[in-house]
Every structure is written in C-alpha cells, then in structure tokens.
Structure 1
Amino acid sequence: MEDKQVLLTGGTGGLGLGVTPAILAHQARLTISYVEDSSVEKLRKQLSFADFERIRFVKTDLSDEVSVKRLINDLGRVDILIHLVGGFVMGKTHQFEMSEWQKCLNLNLTTTFLICKYCLQKMRHYNYGRIVTIGSRGAVQPAANLSAYCAAKAGVVALTKSIAEETKDFNITANVILPSVIDTPANRKAMGENQANRWVKPESLAEIICFLASEAAGELRGAAIEVYGKV
C-alpha cells in the first residue's frame, strides 16, 4: 500500500483504532472520514505525533450523498477504500420501530452503497482499486433480536459481491469480511468481559484488511471471509 491513497471510514472507532496504525505502517497516504471530534482525539492519544500528522481528517456524513460526493471529489484519487462504518441495534422484529429499522439500514448499508458508488467512479477511471467492506457473521447466520442488523449486513455482502462481478474487467477488487464479536470497548461495555478473550481482535482484522488492500490480493474478488475467533 506504499504511497497509495487510502480512504478509511470508521478509522476513529473501536475497530478503526486497530486498523489505522496498520495502514500507517504500510506507508499509505491515509484519509479518514469522521463524525465526532471526540473520536479524533481518542485516535490522537493512541498514535505518535508523527503518525497522527500524516492523516488527513474530513468530517463527513456518509449517509448523505452530497457529502460523500464532495469527499471523494476533493480527494482526487482513491486507490483503496476500507469501509468500517457500521453498528447494530437490537430488538424483536414485531416490536421494532420503523425509525430504528431505517437508522440501522442507513448506517450499515446506505453508507456502504454511497461510498462505494463514488469511489468506484474514481477507480474505474484510473483502472485500479481495492475495496474492503465489513459484514458480519449475522449476515450468513442471522440471530434472534438482530433482524435489522443481520438484514443490513446481508445487504453489504450482496452489494460487495455484485461490485466484484461488475469490476472483473478492471484492476479492481471488492471483498467483504465477516467478523463475529469484535473485541472493542463498546462491546465489552455492552456484553461484559467474561468472553472477551474469545472475540476477534481488531489487530487481527487489520492484518486481513491490509492483505485484501494489497497488490498480493489482486486475484481475490467477491470473497466473504469468515473471521469468527473462538465464538
């Protein structure tokens, strides 16, 4: 990834705190989209001053098409897209509010569509691109009380696979990772720490993500890679 222009969404979140240092270690030119200023400060505390100064931060609402289009146009070129943004909402289907359903789909699926749409326009122009998205084990093994989340992540998997089919004649790849529970502070707070040693470490996912974003993965297209840890 050396000198490649990488766009990382969710780079200041729980998973991003593991992925961002790995991308910087590969000497990529890194842009991170973010929403909350406080999340940038968390990342600042984790990185060295020199590494933090190498990152370009752009505040962006990824569910808004105008904002996403502006972000991509301002970058000029995107060689690698790593889309980490997502989140889950729990609830029984018969009690689920429509507003919560839409929120979950927007956060997980709509953002993936919009960021991929505009990055693909750049990638097709330059005949080069690597796209890595994050699905979930729930996309292929849906669980109770997570119908909206599982449906949204299943959409992310299908979307990524469709992109891989569309770009076969270009030097562009698209692959999706399916983690089980990721060991993040938010998940520890929500579910306790008793089983945290069995969850997937962000640093482990970072290694897989960096491989998929590399030249070495140029023949890998449309893969849905299961990373379940010991869960």
Structure 2
Amino acid sequence: MPHIVTVITGASGILGQALVEAALARGDRVAGIDFGAIQRPDSEHFLGLSGVDLTAPDAAQAAIDKVAHHFGRIDNLLNAVGGFVWQMTDGPLESWDRMHRMNLVTVLNACRAALPHLQAQERGHIVNVGALGALTAGAGLGAYAASKAGVHKLTEALAEETKTQGLCVNAVLPSIIDTPTNRADMPDADFTTWVQPAQLATIMLFLASHDASSITGALLPVRGRV
C-alpha cells in the first residue's frame, strides 16, 4: 500500500513545524511549503520547498505539482500558512490587503492547486486554519478576522463542491496558539490556557485521516482554556 502523502503549507512556522513532526511520526511522506526558510533537511520521507510565494497562483501550482511528481501522489493538504496583525479599523488600509493575501489568498491558491491531485485519488483531505476570533471579532481584529472568516466560508463552499468526490474539507478554529510571538505580545497572559501547537497538529491530522472520512464542512473550535 502506498504511503500517505501530506502537504503542509506554512511549514516553517510554529504550527507548521508541529504538523511536519506529527505527520512524519505517523508514517506519512511529508512536503513542507513556505515562503520562509525550512530548516529540516530533505530525506526519503520529507521534501521542503522554501521561497514559495503562495499569494501567486503560478507559484502555488508549481510547488504542489513538484510535490506530486516527487512522491507520486497527494492525499492531504494542511494549510497552516497565514499571519496576524492587530490594528484598529481606522488604521492603514494596507493591513487589510495584507491579511487578505496572507490568510485567504494563500489558502485559496494552495487548495486550487491541490484539488486536481486529490480528485485523481478520488479521496483526500484538506484542513484549513481559521480562527475563533473570526466568529466574534474584538477591537483591533477587524482585518485579521475578516480574512479568517473568508477561510471559513471557503472551507464550507469547497466542502459542498467536493462532497460527492470523496474529499473532506474542514477547518480548525483555534483561540490563541502558544507561540513565542504570542508570548512576547501578551507577556502577562496565562500561557497554560492557550492551545499548544502539538495538540492542534494532532487534531488537524485526525481530520486528515480515514477515521474522519464522515466529517466535511466542519468548522471545529479549538478553544483551549481561553
């Protein structure tokens, strides 16, 4: 039986790295894609593609096609790509465009590029990362929440479009992920209440498994204890 091939975008980030380690640990062949540098060396089990601008459709397609050619197939796409900015609504408009491109356009391009390969298998999983804060946006979260709400709706629409093709498309909605950046930005917070990257990776990999083949179109809150 061929190995499962899992593609992870945003693979150089904290969550992306946790996903790479968890997917490799369960025996997947893994491809990591990111604009940033991926530190893990290539091996029989892992292919890293750095410097990929997923806001560009052609770049996303080329990267996904390279993975399919290298491993012979693609079974799962886990989109951890994205970013965050805190800004009041009367701040620079550039931040709205930046969040739209970083959080929604990247995911859209990766999904569009991967779909033909997943459809060729007549099964497969896409798991996106939305945000709990996009359900009810707080002050300063307008640009970020709007972009993540777009991820939610993309997930739901794509699930409907592919539900007869054997594909499952879902999203996780974390509250605050425990990362060094978030700790630096919120030094007085109780970090123990936040979502651990390894825990979120485990949940995403469950959604990218045969055991979750009856779940599609779900937006799964992962609140931690926040």
TM-score tier (shorter)? over 0.9
Match of residue 54, structure 1, among 45, 57, 68 = 45
Check conservation: 2:28, 2:45, Cα contact below 8 A. no
Match of 2:14 in 1: 14
Residue 79 of structure 2: which of 83, 86, 92 is its match?
Answer: 83
SS of equivalent to 1:142 = coil
Answer yes or no: is the 8 Å Cα contact 1:178–1:227 preserved in 2: yes
**What stretches of structure 1 move > 4 A for 4+ residues in a row?**
none
Mark the CA change 1:196 to 1:53 in structure 2 (over 3 Å): closer, same or farther. farther
**Residues 145-184 of structure 1 correspond to what in structure 2 (within 5 A)?**
145-184=140-179
Corresponding letter in the other structure for 2:32: I
What's the secondary structure of 1:183's corresponding residue?
Answer: coil
Does the 8 Å CA contact 1:63/1:111 hold for their aligned counterparts? yes
Distance in 1 (CA, whole Å) between partners of 2:26 and 2:96 is: 38
Q: How many residues align?
A: 221
Aligned partner of 2:110 in structure 1 is 115
> Match of 1:158, as an amino acid?
K
* Equivalent position to 2:64, from 59, 72, 80: 72
Identical aligned pairs, as a percentage? 36
C-alpha distance in 2 between matches for 1:15 and 1:72: 20
In structure 1, the partner of 2:35 is 35
Shift of 1:17: 2.6
Residue identity matched to 2:205? C
Conserved in 2, the CA contact under 8 Å of 1:6 and 1:29? yes
**Secondary structure, in 3 states, of the residue corresponding to 2:176?**
coil
SS of structure 2 residue aligned to 1:93: coil
What is the TM-score of this pair, normalised by structure 1?
A: 0.90
Within a 5 Å distance, the mapping from 1:120-135 to structure 2 comes to: 120-135=115-130
Aligned counterparts of 1:167 and 1:99: Cα–Cα separation in 2: 34
Gaps of 5+ in 2: none
**More deviation, 210-219/75-84:** 75-84
Of 22, 32, 55, which residue of structure 2 is paired with 1:63? 55
CA-CA distance at 1:18 after TM superposition: 2.0
Secondary structure in 2 matching 1:133: strand
The amino acid that maps onto 1:82 is: L
Q: How does 1:203-222 map to 2 (within 5 A)?
A: 203-222=198-217
Q: 1:54 offset after TM fit, Å? A: 2.8
Asked if the contact 2:33/2:48 (under 8 Å) is kept, the reply is yes
Q: Secondary structure at the match of 2:184?
A: helix
8 Å Cα contact 1:160-1:174 kept in structure 2: yes
- 2:3 is matched with 3
Q: How far apart, CA to CA, are the structure 2 residues paired with 1:52 and 1:90?
A: 38
Cα distance, 1:52 vs structure 2: 6.5
One-letter amino acid matched to 1:30:
V
* C-alpha separation in 1, matches of 2:127 and 2:139: 27
CA RMSD of aligned residues (A): 1.8
